[in-house]
Structure 1
Amino acid sequence: MTIYTINFDPIGKLTDEQFYLLCRHNPQTKFERNAQGEIVIMSPTGGETGRYNIEIATEFVIWNRQVKLGVLFDSSTCFKLPSGADRSPDVAWIKQERWERLTPQQKEQFPPIAPDFVLELMSPSDSLKDLQKKMQEYLDNGVRLGWLINRKQRQVEIYRQGQAIEIFNAPPTLSGEEILPGFTLDLNFIWN
């Protein structure tokens, strides 16, 4: 995934409404916005990353339908984080009671909430350093658990509130811990 950043300093930062309209009027383009107000434009993923993304998301959907504890989102969902950043993780999950506190309009636009859980699957063209910063940004904004899956290096980085980052080499599974109770993601298909 190629990423381009546009700095709007000469004309001023886009308002939340302007950013929302920019995204709505350009549905073929994936935008994010960092806390400094810079617009980040991302190209589509390649076939292998898209294939793995849908496989991973399916596991979450099956689990969530069984436990009915929250709401799942794919990479097309943009969240308005408390820092002002607008981010779209590959997979996101929010506890049902937190989601229900939002108004219908907040749910319809870019929800002003940090997910409880996020997952980022690194594409071959992604920068590990940039994704690590993004994961830290998620934690700084209230995300409780995050997984960064790096297929190229066969590693997973686990981000938790108030804890050091843990790095695992080609783990066969990941546990959702107390954030995603009863959830286990089988990663063997990614490493093989």
Structure 2
Amino acid sequence: MKPRDVSGNNTKNAGKMNQTIVSYYFSRNTLIVFAVFLIAILFLFSFLAIIFSKFIWITILFLSVLSMLLFILIPPFIKSIISFNANQPALILSNENLTDNINHRILKWSEIKKISNYKSSKSANFIAINVNNPKLVAQKVKNPMQRFKMTLNKLIYGFSFSIQPNIIKCNNTELLNTLNEFHTKYK
């Protein structure tokens, strides 16, 4: 495979003989939309908590749900913003592995069983990645929330984890094709 430019992203010869690296970067627009979404959720739940402040148990419920949502959504968003500001790629494909800076994991191509497109609804479209040994890959994940999410993905959807192409500045079909091309060639 020759080094090539994919969707305006960096592709370079990494100094090693025949080492191909393809990098995909975070989408600024998606990060802005997600920030607006988080702010809207914060204001909505705060507003509802104020409206129902006469009923203490409803206020506690709203604040609990808000806290849980923020606890789950804010850390990955902050990591994505930091990576975006540092101009770090969201995905790096090389001869040896797939580096996923969105989910913060590195997978060797030999660990990946299948890469496919998964469409759960009209708006939710992502790339599903099945691994050969989900338990072994889950053991490498240090964050217990991500490990739990990985287990749930396997139980509910049938794949180990996913990449959301909407957070990456690229053509979704081309990203899927490039991932499959690397997987086929280097597994």
TM-score (norm 2): 0.27
Ranked by relative contact order (alpha carbons within 8 Å, sequence separation 6 or more), the top structure is 2
Q: Report the structure, 1 or 2, having the larger helix content.
A: 2
TM-score (norm 1): 0.27
